[in-house]
Structure 1
Amino acid sequence: MPRALTDEQRDFVDAIGEFCRRECGTKQQRDALTDHGRHPHSRELYARMAELGWLGVSIPQDYGGAGRGMAELCLFLEETAYGRAPISGFATTIISAAAYEKFGSEPQKREVLSGVVRGRVEAISMSEPGAGSDVGALRCRAERRPGGWVVNGQKTWCSNAHIADHVLLVARTSGEGTKHEGLTQFMVPTGAEGLRISGIDTMGGREVNDLYFTDCFLPDDAVVGTVGAGWSQLVSGLNLERMILAALMLGTARRAFDDTVSYITQREQFGRPVGTFQALRHRIADMATELECARLLVDDVARTIDANPGVLFPREASMAKLKCTELAKHVALEGMQMMGGYGYATDYGMESLLRSTVVSTVYGGTSEIQRDIIGKSYGL
């Protein structure tokens, strides 16, 4: 089905596609950019995108960005994911940037938002060993001291902290009230004294980290927004986070689907291409239909968000995140099955697509949490 894009959006999508084919279109190119997949973020490629002005697609013009909306941001995320561009740092960067844009002081905005446009990476830290889906259970504390705050505790699963300029830290500043009260956001330079960043090895390469805070002093101007309002500030950004992950996985699912179709139209068994057998042909038809549904959902929710600035759409954003992440995992698994042994071979790339999709149903709110949010929106 033809996609309803403006001429400007179509040119944007075409330019991204051409760039990805030229700069990271082969496994050899991607291996060179990522040290054979060990580092899923290429500073080199990221810098080239910054020069083209793409990283500032949703950053306000006052800070050097293009000032575009959710629709253009989702297109950028989807197309770079489809093109397999190794820029894993962009997602956490744009999530963090949105928080600074909404709640940060002017100096914080100038430093972070203009840095995003220039190709700097940002990170956000919420999870702890005992607080994942239940953010209100976090225990990392920031205590008042003359002229600032002292942070002690551990955070975990912090994506891209090792390549970021700052970590947007969510810490407990008060034990009074409900568990969601007394949380505050802080802008923490990754080189701050008292902060140790330790990588966690995963099947997706070096991307996530443990953060250890030991008497880490932060000045008063490190507070982002209002002291004690960290939870409400987080909630206001959930639309963005879920849509970012939905768009990324939509692009990844499209890539897995196209790679599968390419393989089964060429691979022959029993005297004909394996894709002509009904068992595979019907599975391809089902996945193609589901991909079209997911694309329409993402496009529609993105346009709705752009048309209603300041309005939260938790049900719709959760639906998009749930649909696209689960679909991407399903398509990659089906791709491996249809490709047989070659699906496991690193030369063909399906195994790396599977690795990137499996975790997508966990981070940014698990599929179970998304279903719970959707269900509650119906009064259940």
Structure 2
Amino acid sequence: MVQFTAEQRAFADSVADFCQRETGTRAQRDVLTNHGTELHSQDLYKKMAELGWTGILIPEEYGGAGAGNVEMCILLEESLRGGAPIGGIGPTLITAAGYQKFAGEEMKRDVLAGVVAGDSLSVSMSEPEAGSDVAALSCRADKVDGGWLINGQKTWCSNAHFAKSILLIARTDKNGKKHEGLTQFHVPAGTPGLEIRGIDTLGGREVNDLYFTDCFLPDSAVVGQVGNGWNQLMAGLNTERLILAAMQLGLAERSFAQTLQFITERKQFGRPIGTFQALRHRMADLATEIECTKLLVYSVAQKADANPDKLLPREASMVKLKATETSKRMTIDAMQMMGGYGYATEFDAEAMMRASIISTVYGGTNEIQRDIIGKTFGL
């Protein structure tokens, strides 16, 4: 069992109670998500902001809670377990961490205060020819008087259609190695020269294509140092992968609870289907995997809190790999155990399965995570 302090347990209870009150019924969730077509409810997110939760990682000097990774994981786990449609929180927390570490003071105060107030953020890395190999990106930022002109296409950009701003990674220098010459830029919503087009997915409206055409950004839009974009990206991997892991842990727990209720109530051959050995053993295995995942999530969170400036490539990749694979297995098995009802949109099982499957792709595919883990052993 994960050991929490009294304050952390109280916080977990508060988030669980909020979700039960605000998103506890299917009718409530349908209203918040336009019948499941939207993954993020800004209205619900604003309510969480009023409670101080969206700024959980933001230092107190910028209006945030100044909490650590353990508290962040509690928030994300309980929110996803409670069915809260706040799909934008992951990209927002990931992006906010980048601004917090590298932005100038004026930009930091503006952006981080917005996050505390409930603004959503987006980070734009991937391109049509630069996915797992992000360093191969070619979206250009050419220096001009007073700033930069951005030209090129980005893709798979979460939150861009409702984000207050986008953290863009573009190429400012074509010379040298591909990991060099990359720079991060602050792009406010509505900047001229930026077109955002949604990509239809199994999960609804979640990601976007971005098209930059002579999009002018002033020199003050540079986040961090010119040419240091790759190193800045790498500095945020601990936070990014913990965020994804905690969210998928919560989703797996939600799927388990709903499946348990179903197989306890559903009867065939004169008895609850959960009493048959095939399902009983499957649930036992899944419960064990979820508990192992939870222990790993909070172990890595504690290590990251104890070593805030240290990269944890092995642990960060392990926790992302384990949590997303566990969530995927849980939700697919849930559909099988629920039979046709698991396939029907009347229940949440099919939506949770779709949400878990994509988790093994975004944030660095699980094949990439395995490769990173292997390299940390000298392989």
Same fold (TM > 0.5) = yes
Question: Do residues 163 (structure 1) and 162 (structure 2) align?
Answer: yes
Match of 2:320 in 1: 321
Q: In the alignment, residue 242 of structure 1 is paired with which amino acid?
A: R
Match of 2:218 in 1: 219
Post-superposition offset of 1:274 = 0.5
SS in structure 2 opposite 1:159? coil
Count of residue correspondences: 379
SS in structure 2 opposite 1:187? strand
Q: How does 1:107-122 map to 2 (within 5 A)?
A: 107-122=106-121
User: What does the per-residue CA deviation read over 1:253-276, in whole Å, with 9 as the maximum and x for residues that have no partner?
Assistant: 001111111100111111111001
Post-superposition offset of 1:137 = 0.8
Tell me the TM-score normalised to structure 2 length: 0.99
Match of 2:71 in 1: 72
SS in structure 2 opposite 1:167? strand
Post-superposition offset of 1:89 = 1.0
Q: In the alignment, residue 244 of structure 1 is paired with which amino acid?
A: I
User: What does the per-residue CA deviation read over 1:49-76, in whole Å, with 9 as the maximum and x for residues that have no partner?
Assistant: 0111111111100010010110000110
Match of 2:54 in 1: 55
Post-superposition offset of 1:366 = 0.3
Match of 1:105 in 2: 104
Paired with 2:265 and 2:149, the residues of 1 have a C-alpha distance of: 61
Paired with 2:83 and 2:170, the residues of 1 have a C-alpha distance of: 34
Match of 2:21 in 1: 22
Post-superposition offset of 1:112 = 0.8
Paired with 1:195 and 1:348, the residues of 2 have a C-alpha distance of: 39
Q: In the alignment, residue 237 of structure 1 is paired with which amino acid?
A: G
Paired with 2:234 and 2:224, the residues of 1 have a C-alpha distance of: 13
Match of 2:348 in 1: 349
Paired with 1:161 and 1:278, the residues of 2 have a C-alpha distance of: 47
Post-superposition offset of 1:13 = 0.4
Match of 1:287 in 2: 286
Post-superposition offset of 1:35 = 0.5
Match of 1:340 in 2: 339
Post-superposition offset of 1:190 = 1.9
Post-superposition offset of 1:37 = 1.2
Question: Do residues 140 (structure 1) and 112 (structure 2) align?
Answer: no
Q: In the alignment, residue 338 of structure 2 is paired with which amino acid?
A: M
Paired with 1:135 and 1:365, the residues of 2 have a C-alpha distance of: 10
Paired with 2:359 and 2:293, the residues of 1 have a C-alpha distance of: 15
Q: In the alignment, residue 375 of structure 1 is paired with which amino acid?
A: G
Paired with 1:190 and 1:326, the residues of 2 have a C-alpha distance of: 34
Match of 1:4 in 2: 3
Q: Give unmatched runs, 5+ long, in structure 1.
A: none
Paired with 1:157 and 1:62, the residues of 2 have a C-alpha distance of: 33
Post-superposition offset of 1:5 = 0.7
Paired with 2:135 and 2:309, the residues of 1 have a C-alpha distance of: 24
SS in structure 2 opposite 1:50? helix
Paired with 1:268 and 1:142, the residues of 2 have a C-alpha distance of: 62
Paired with 1:85 and 1:111, the residues of 2 have a C-alpha distance of: 27
Post-superposition offset of 1:38 = 1.3
Paired with 2:359 and 2:46, the residues of 1 have a C-alpha distance of: 25
Question: Do residues 370 (structure 1) and 369 (structure 2) align?
Answer: yes
Match of 2:82 in 1: 83
Paired with 1:273 and 1:337, the residues of 2 have a C-alpha distance of: 16
Paired with 2:126 and 2:187, the residues of 1 have a C-alpha distance of: 16
Paired with 1:266 and 1:49, the residues of 2 have a C-alpha distance of: 34
Q: In the alignment, residue 35 of structure 2 is paired with which amino acid?
A: H
Question: Do residues 235 (structure 1) and 198 (structure 2) align?
Answer: no
Q: In the alignment, residue 18 of structure 1 is paired with which amino acid?
A: D
Match of 2:360 in 1: 361
Q: In the alignment, residue 298 of structure 1 is paired with which amino acid?
A: V
Paired with 1:87 and 1:271, the residues of 2 have a C-alpha distance of: 41
Q: In the alignment, residue 342 of structure 1 is paired with which amino acid?
A: Y
User: What does the per-residue CA deviation read over 1:190-222, in whole Å, with 9 as the maximum and x for residues that have no partner?
Assistant: 210000011001111111000000000000000
Q: In the alignment, residue 314 of structure 1 is paired with which amino acid?
A: P
Post-superposition offset of 1:96 = 0.8
User: What does the per-residue CA deviation read over 1:6-27, in whole Å, with 9 as the maximum and x for residues that have no partner?
Assistant: 1111110001001101101111
Q: In the alignment, residue 202 of structure 2 is paired with which amino acid?
A: M
Tell me the TM-score normalised to structure 1 length: 0.99
What CA RMSD, in Å, does the superposition of the two structures yield over aligned residues?
A: 0.6
Post-superposition offset of 1:124 = 0.1
Match of 2:45 in 1: 46
Question: Do residues 256 (structure 1) and 277 (structure 2) align?
Answer: no
Post-superposition offset of 1:347 = 1.5
Paired with 2:62 and 2:82, the residues of 1 have a C-alpha distance of: 28
Question: Do residues 312 (structure 1) and 346 (structure 2) align?
Answer: no
User: What does the per-residue CA deviation read over 1:132-186, in whole Å, with 9 as the maximum and x for residues that have no partner?
Assistant: 0001110100000000000000000000001001110000000111000000000
Paired with 2:112 and 2:217, the residues of 1 have a C-alpha distance of: 20
Q: How does 1:259-274 map to 2 (within 5 A)?
A: 259-274=258-273
Post-superposition offset of 1:364 = 0.1
Post-superposition offset of 1:39 = 1.3
SS in structure 2 opposite 1:206? strand
